[in-house]
Chain A
């Protein structure tokens, strides 16, 4: 009889324990995050970088690295979920928005993922986030920069990276700075010398928005946009586009290109002997290791906006340590894509840690209230905090951008130096563009 009573008490305690502990946390040993990137096709090089960035963040989150001064590295797994490990399930969207949406459905319905990370291409992020919104599955986006993505009022979508409106404004601030003598190593130049602008942007969601922003800011800052072209990123020949740009006789040429088209564009500019005073790329292809490796010294003097440059390592110790791990893994330095993929997954870690559950509603609440301090991040931002009201729902309001310029390094290689913001510039800017 006494034994029976003991058994009853034990079962009662087990039942009470079961009721007290959130169901999401009880059986969790693995958190599945679906990661959708372009792993083949024209942006495959970027896809490899993104994948490596996300994988490195997962590795750090799932293991202990006491020498890394970041919360994610101090414990193995997510503590509030009983040390659950993050498992990444990669899918390849090939740059195709429809395929991306199908993959998102598969990840949600078949793989039962707890959340999604991706997708680099704004056009694919758009369709994938619509699927997530439909199924009520949280999605964190680390590297798509079309401003429209956070203007849709989605409740299950959060973006860590700053978007193109900020980046494009940075560019025009740099041009304005050139006329005011604010740029390191360049004396103030008359505005008429850099007045005429020509732009060529790839014509998906991302590039077409950048094109509109360039037109908007050119007007706002008093520059003349002489030519604006949209082209297909999968183009195998851009000679007529370059001829058209050249015919506008621009002082400044602006581009929004993915990897293979960025390389093709610069090669065609060289073949057509186009020689503007400034060439600026809106990150993406202009910042990829392939761009640098393929074009070598030809890109000296070309500017690109980014959110991460190897020079950041000199400013942030944490960035240096993570960069060393990334370099060991891939042979390359962290770049804008990989650093943001890393940060995207890191955000997932913090959100899950704060949620303490895999229930979508708990994750949603955690994401909406999260604050990750800048010192935790490899990117030079003030931190991560998502907007929960206004017209940019889910947008990180603490991010910022950089503009780098390819310059010859002491070891003879070609690397990026920070030229904007002016107060953190790491070298004198080369002006005008010296030619190929």
Chain B
């Protein structure tokens, strides 16, 4: 029973963090209809920012979140004004290939600066600590904190989008850019803001994730794929959809643990031989594939 509960809890916790990862992608898509292939690379930069700031200043990694947010926001805005703005003039395929190029550029830049070695945090207030909740459920403190802070960041962005004038302007730009422009909304600034918020939220997620995952310049691809799956499941452009889809994806990633529960419950040799952990991401991509075929607008798709 402990494996079942601990797997579900672990899935929910990592799902909360993954939801924050996908938030930026869904906001950028929602506002501008652009799929940012470099999203995972933004996260990778967030991971390096958290790691290097913690090491350089000697502060706890969790306290580096404002730095990561600032770096991500600036990176998003710079990318928009220096690059994406020009892509918008071209056809859809130019936008796709453009952000794909950005992905390769950022990845190779990181490779040049940081090298290809894995780096990980080995010290910190919560690093290597865990809480025993009984029933065999042991949660690493870093994951618990990351999940909690992700939810706070997620709610903050959601409130900003729904309860502030800026957020409403963003939504208006997303729904009808031309109409919003007629109403006096500076849509270009809104686009830049969407990239800023998208960049900031994903780098914060990166700074949280680096507390328990190691980082290398190639780590972004995995997260881009996961974020795509979450956004597709939740519906492109839907903020609440990203949250719930994040939880679903988190639990899908923990299916091997749920399988183990049944394996040991039935004491089945053949079930024990199935290499479920090797397929932990396969279930996520399978869900992505199925939802794209059955319901392309996703579970909570709202825009189209």
User: Which residue in chain A gives the minimum CB-CB distance to B111?
Assistant: A40
A44, CB-defined interface residue at 8 Å: yes
Interface residues of A in 242-300 (CB under 8 A from B): 243-244, 246-248, 260, 263-264, 267, 270-273, 294
Given contacts A227-B272, A270-B128, A273-B132, whether A44 and B116 have CB atoms under 8 Å apart is: yes
A236 adjacent to B3 (CB under 8 Å): no
User: Which residue in chain B gives the minimum CB-CB distance to A44?
Assistant: B117
A236 adjacent to B215 (CB under 8 Å): yes
B256 adjacent to A244 (CB under 8 Å): yes
Residues of A within 8 A of B277 (CB): 229-231, 240-241, 244
Interface residues of B in 102-135 (CB under 8 A from A): 115-118, 120, 122, 128-130, 132
B138 adjacent to A273 (CB under 8 Å): yes
A243 adjacent to B219 (CB under 8 Å): no
- For residue A299, give the distance in angstroms from its CB to the closest CB of chain B: 13
Binary contact readout A214-230 vs B (1 if CB under 8 angstroms, 0 otherwise):
00000000000011111
A182, CB-defined interface residue at 8 Å: no
Q: How far is the CA of A271 from the CA of B123 in the complex (A)?
A: 13
Residues of A within 8 A of B254 (CB): 240
Q: How far is the CA of A267 from the CA of B120 in the complex (A)?
A: 11
- For residue A218, give the distance in angstroms from its CB to the closest CB of chain B: 13
- For residue A62, give the distance in angstroms from its CB to the closest CB of chain B: 30
Given contacts A41-B117, A244-B257, whether A231 and B138 have CB atoms under 8 Å apart is: no
Number of B interface residues in the complex (CB < 8 A):
41
B7 adjacent to A243 (CB under 8 Å): yes
Residues of A within 8 A of B264 (CB): 247-248
Residues of A within 8 A of B117 (CB): 40-42, 44-45, 260
Q: How far is the CA of A248 from the CA of B2 in the complex (A)?
A: 11
B257 adjacent to A272 (CB under 8 Å): no
Which of A230, A246, A272 contacts B130 (CB under 8 A)?
Answer: A272
Given contacts A42-B117, A260-B118, whether A230 and B278 have CB atoms under 8 Å apart is: yes
Which of A40, A230, A240 has the most chain B CB atoms closer than 10 A to its own CB? A240
Which of A45, A239, A273 contacts B10 (CB under 8 A)?
Answer: A239
Residues of A within 8 A of B273 (CB): 228
B214, CB-defined interface residue at 8 Å: yes
Binary contact readout B1-37 vs A (1 if CB under 8 angstroms, 0 otherwise):
0110011001000000000000000000000000000
- For residue A271, give the distance in angstroms from its CB to the closest CB of chain B: 4
A94, CB-defined interface residue at 8 Å: yes
Which of B6, B129, B142, B213 contacts A243 (CB under 8 A)?
Answer: B6
Residues of B within 8 A of A40 (CB): 115-117
Which of A40, A230, A247, A270 has the most chain B CB atoms closer than 10 A to its own CB? A247
Binary contact readout A5-47 vs B (1 if CB under 8 angstroms, 0 otherwise):
0000000000000000000000000000000000011101100
B253, CB-defined interface residue at 8 Å: yes
Q: How far is the CA of A234 from the CA of B222 in the complex (A)?
A: 12
Q: How far is the CA of A41 from the CA of B261 in the complex (A)?
A: 35
A237 adjacent to B130 (CB under 8 Å): no
- For residue A256, give the distance in angstroms from its CB to the closest CB of chain B: 15
A271 adjacent to B261 (CB under 8 Å): no
A203, CB-defined interface residue at 8 Å: yes
A263 adjacent to B120 (CB under 8 Å): yes
Q: How far is the CA of A334 from the CA of B254 in the complex (A)?
A: 41
A237 adjacent to B212 (CB under 8 Å): yes
Q: How far is the CA of A322 from the CA of B115 in the complex (A)?
A: 31
A243 adjacent to B257 (CB under 8 Å): yes
B7 adjacent to A236 (CB under 8 Å): no
Residues of A within 8 A of B219 (CB): 236
Residues of A within 8 A of B212 (CB): 237, 239, 271
Residues of A within 8 A of B120 (CB): 260, 263-264, 267
B116 adjacent to A273 (CB under 8 Å): no
Residues of B within 8 A of A203 (CB): 278
Q: How far is the CA of A248 from the CA of B261 in the complex (A)?
A: 10
Can you list 26 contacts pairing A with B, beta carbon distance less than 8 Å? Answer: A40-B116, A41-B116, A41-B117, A42-B117, A44-B117, A203-B278, A226-B272, A236-B216, A240-B253, A240-B254, A240-B256, A240-B277, A244-B277, A247-B261, A248-B264, A260-B117, A260-B118, A260-B120, A263-B120, A267-B122, A271-B129, A271-B130, A271-B142, A273-B130, A273-B132, A273-B138
Per CB-CB distance, the 3 closest pairs between chain A and chain B, nearest first, are A247-B3, A260-B118, A271-B140
Residues on A close to B: CB < 8 A?
Answer: 40-42, 44-45, 94, 203, 226-231, 234, 236-237, 239-241, 243-244, 246-248, 260, 263-264, 267, 270-273, 294
Residues on B close to A: CB < 8 A?
Answer: 2-3, 6-7, 10, 115-118, 120, 122, 128-130, 132, 138, 140, 142-143, 212-216, 218-219, 222, 253-254, 256-257, 260-261, 264, 272-273, 275-278, 280
